[in-house]
Amino acid sequence: MKIFRSHVLVCGGTGCSSSNSAQIRQRFIDKIKEVNLDNEVQVIGTGCFGLCEVGPVVIIYPEGSFYARMTVDRVDEIVEEHLLKGRIVKKYLYDESIKDEKLKALSEVDFYSKQKRVALRNCGLINPENINEYIARDGYMALGKVLTEMTPDEVIKLVKDSGLKGRGGAGFSTGMKWSFAAPNKADQKYIICNADEGDPGAFMDRSVLEGDPHAVLEAMAIAGYAIGATKGYIYVRAEYPIAVRRLKIAIEQARELGLLGKNIFNTGFDFDIEIRLGAGAFVCGEETALLQSLEGKRGMSRNKPPFPANKGLWGKPTVINNVETLANIPQIILKGPEWFRSFGTEKSPGTKVFALGGKINNTGLVEVPMGTTLREVIYDIGGGCPNGKEFKAVQTGGPSGGCLTTKHLDTPIDYDSLTAAGSMMGSGGMIVMDEDNCMVDIARFFLDFTVDESCGKCTPCREGTKRMLEILNKITEGKGTMEDLDNLEKLAINIKETSLCGLGQTAPNPVLSTLKYFRDEYEAHVNEKRCPAGVCQSLLKYFITADCRGCTKCARICPAGAIEGKVKEIHIINQDKCIKCGACMDACTFHAIIKK
Amino acid sequence: MKSLEELKKLRDESIKNIEMRNTDKDVRVVVGMATCGISAGARPVLATFVEEVAKRNLNNVSVVQTGCIGMCTYEPIVEIYAPGKEKVTYIHVDSEKAKRIVSEHLANNRVVVEYTIGSEN
């Protein structure tokens, strides 16, 4: 095998890819060839490094130099200086990675220092399109171990002992799930990887698939051995083209090495995996709807029982595990349940990956031990809200979760604590909101999403969420009454209790939690016809202040002819004519137009 | 894949390539790779260090390049940093000397005194 003296790792996750990382990688390859270093320096595309905010990210080893916000233009200089002459180009490094003119190790950078990477351990470190790099990181050793040294029952016991809970949202014990399917007699059983990640702003599973696809394949084979299944499906949304492509490559490479297919490790165990693409319906993340979709039917949920472990895909016993859950399995097998329990909390062992987004400085992907507080994630790792704005709330669990406030910042992140606080763990979306966000509008946004995504099978979800959205729209338009607030709450509780599946049962959470913690904002909309955060357009009024110089620019630009005034005199907005488009505010050079 | 042994063999082989991405290493071999160093033959020296370190599985050693150290007349210069020890500077290094430095200094902790800058005087 050829040993290179330097490796250039270019992030090839979706985030960095959308800001030209493929072109950056190509330029590195071309330029390195041009200066005859192609025998010494290897260029590698990886999965997500996590710090998407400063992407595209390039890391050069052995120094571990972290180049942030890379552009194609900077490549030549970095090749000539760093790779050719051995001089790190400090001006392009990520600011936080330099201290006293010296390069800090990545693990010491604030963003990474509080993280513990288990599911993401290979993301950004290996080339996901090269199975050898996964194997170099002990890849497929866990599969080898269970096949040659353990019985299926021992595997299930080990996973149970680890306390691993499903990372997709519901938080059910993974070992228990396996133990339900294992004793069922059937001519065929199935393992399904649920990669239908649909929360707005969530990209944990996508990043695992893009950065470390083999970990998921290996875990599926282990699960197959544990329950006696020989066939696996990965149900992944078609909107994840990079993840799908890397999965295909990974499956191909695993088959070539005989790590998937017939008679794996010469033990007589057969297991193979196929990919099934979903069209991106949120409800298909719910396991019974997923099964329908996988069978080629319309994705709609059904009643449980029967549970998939008894009657799943095509009526056969089936285990459905989420991507992140699976990514933990090989490590648990190799290092043991005690190791896994050594981080996290008593009831929620291990780590959890979060996609940090919204009003936060370090947008990106983080993995922290369970029990870490929201404050640590939002401030220490996430760097707080940008532009000195004040933190207002954080939505965990996406459209199924709830908003938590400043007083919850010291809540430890684990399944029980978040539920107790009125939100939920969910799959790991974490959206931060600052003082400029209107909580009624946020609730409306999530409801709008669930109304769109409701499959329509049961009435509470189909009709109920729609009615809730209508009430919320009414409130944001300033037409709400106090009675509406009561109805909203009643309806929400009703939908939660009577919906068929998880989608409907959790859809009212954003409304309930904002009603609970930000009732004053709702009341301001209803009673004072005022949006305290200045977001709801219908409730806003535009005013011209004394800073106006009478330049007439706003009057000329106003599409409704609502602004009057003479040259060099303060202008006035006619509130009856104003359509609140904001064009005047954007046009004013003197910042003399305000909205409130 | 027919056995766990076969997989382990492949892992041990593959690990050599990605070992470099572990930045948590104690010993640093720094090769001067400015114009002066390169023209004096530092490039094959660097390559030799990388290969020999990988061959011997010296997982504690990272081989990095640097710019001009300032004593161009002594190039190729190689400096070895280890925690708690004084820096050792080798001069006029070539591939043969590099191999010996790896086997004696890095693998067996015996400084090759005759190649160091101190032996010049």
pLDDT tens for residues A306-348? Answer: 999 999 999 999 999 999 999 999 999 999 999 999 999 999 9
Given A9, A132, A258, which is nearest B14 (Cβ)? A132
Q: How many domains are contained in chain B?
A: 1
B39, part of any domain: yes
Q: What pLDDT sits at residue A595?
A: 84
| Contact status of A126 with chain B (Cβ, < 8 Å) | yes
Residue range A451-492, pLDDT digits in tens: 999 999 999 999 999 999 999 999 999 999 999 999 999 999
**What is the distance between the alpha carbons of residues A242 and A57, in angstroms, rounded to a whole number?**
17
Report whether CATH 3.10.20.600 matches the domain A351-434. yes
Does B66 reside within a domain? yes
pLDDT of residue A201: 87
Average pLDDT, chain A: 94
CB–CB contacts below 8 A, A to B = 106
Question: CB distance from A388 to chain B under 8 Å?
Answer: no
Contact A136 B15 (CB under 8 A): yes
CA distance A516 to A510: 10
Quick check: A23 pLDDT over 90?
yes
Q: pLDDT at position A146, please?
A: 97
Contact B1 A259 (CB under 8 A): yes
- Å from B19 to nearest chain A CA? 9
pLDDT value for A441: 95
Distance, in Å, from the CA atom of B70 to the CA atom of B67, rounded to the nearest integer, reads 9
pTM of the model: 0.92
Contact A68, A93 (CB under 8 A): yes
Can you tell me the distance from the alpha carbon of A245 to that of A253, in angstroms, rounded to the nearest whole number? 12
Mean pLDDT for the stretch of residues A411-420:
93
For residue range A349-383, list pLDDT tens digits in order: 999 999 999 999 999 999 999 999 999 999 999 99
Whole-number pLDDT of residue A108: 85
CATH of domain A6-109: 3.40.30.10
- Res A104: pLDDT: 82
A88-132 confidence digits (pLDDT tens): 999 999 988 888 878 888 888 889 999 999 999 999 999 999 999
Contacts of B46 in chain A (CB under 8 A): 5, 40
The C-alpha of A56 sits at a distance from chain B's nearest C-alpha, in angstroms, of 19
B12: in domain: no
Instruction: State the CATH number of the domain containing residue B60.
Output: 3.40.30.10
Question: What's the CATH number for A541-595?
Answer: 3.30.70.20
Return all residues near B26 (Cβ < 8 A) that are at least 6 apart: B60, B82, B83
Q: Three-class SS of residue A61? A: strand
User: Is B23's Cβ below 8 Å from some Cβ in A?
Assistant: yes
CB A57 within 8 A of CB A211: no
Q: How confident is the model at residue A228 (pLDDT cuts 50, 70, 90)?
A: very high
Contact B4 A144 (CB under 8 A): yes
Domain limits, chain A: 6-109, 131-340, 351-434, 439-527, 541-595
Decide if A84 and B13 are in contact by the 8 Å CB cutoff.
no
Q: Which residue has the tokens 């009657």?
A: A311
Q: What is the pLDDT of residue B121?
A: 56
pLDDT band at A390 (very low <50, low <70, confident <90, very high): very high
Would B14 be classed as within a structural domain? no
Q: Interface pTM (ipTM) of the complex?
A: 0.90
Are residues A137 and B18, on separate chains, in Cβ contact within 8 Å? yes
Determine what percent of chain B is predicted with pLDDT higher than 70.
98
Chain B, nearest residue to A254 by Cα: B1
How close, in Å, is residue B60 to chain A by CA atoms?
A: 12
Closest CA–CA distance from residue A90 to any residue of chain B (Å): 14
Is B61 inside any structural domain?
Answer: yes
Q: Which CATH number fits domain A439-527: 1.20.1440.230, 3.30.930.10, 3.40.50.300, 3.10.20.30?
A: 1.20.1440.230
Q: How far is A80 from chain B (nearest CA, A)?
A: 11
pLDDT in tens, A257-284: 999 999 999 999 999 999 999 998 999 9
Strands (E), A203-325: 231-237, 261-264, 269-278, 318-322
B-interface mutation test, from A1, A3, A10, most B Cβ less than 10 A away = A3
Domain of B34?
A: 22-120
How far is residue A65's CA from residue A79's CA, in Å, rounded to a whole number?
13
Least confidently predicted of A144-148, A202-206, A576-580: A576-580
Residue A256: predicted pLDDT: 97
Of B1, B23, B32, which has the smallest distance from its Cβ to A62's Cβ?
B23
Interface test with B, best of A10, A37, A38, A85 (most B CBs within 10 A): A85
Least confident of A178-192, A457-471, B33-47, B92-106: B33-47
Residue from the list B20, B43, B65 with its beta carbon closest to the beta carbon of A7: B20
Q: Which of residues 229-268 of A touch B (CB under 8 A)?
A: 257-259, 264-266
Residues of chain A numbered 39-58 and touching chain B (CB < 8 Å): 40
At B70, is the pLDDT very low, low, confident or very high (cuts 50, 70, 90)? Answer: confident
pLDDT for res B120: 67
Superfamily designation of domain A131-340 = NADH-ubiquinone oxidoreductase 51kDa subunit (3.40.50.11540)
Residue B90 lies in a domain: yes
CA–CA separation, A134 vs A570, rounded Å? 68
Better-predicted residue by pLDDT, A9 or B68: A9
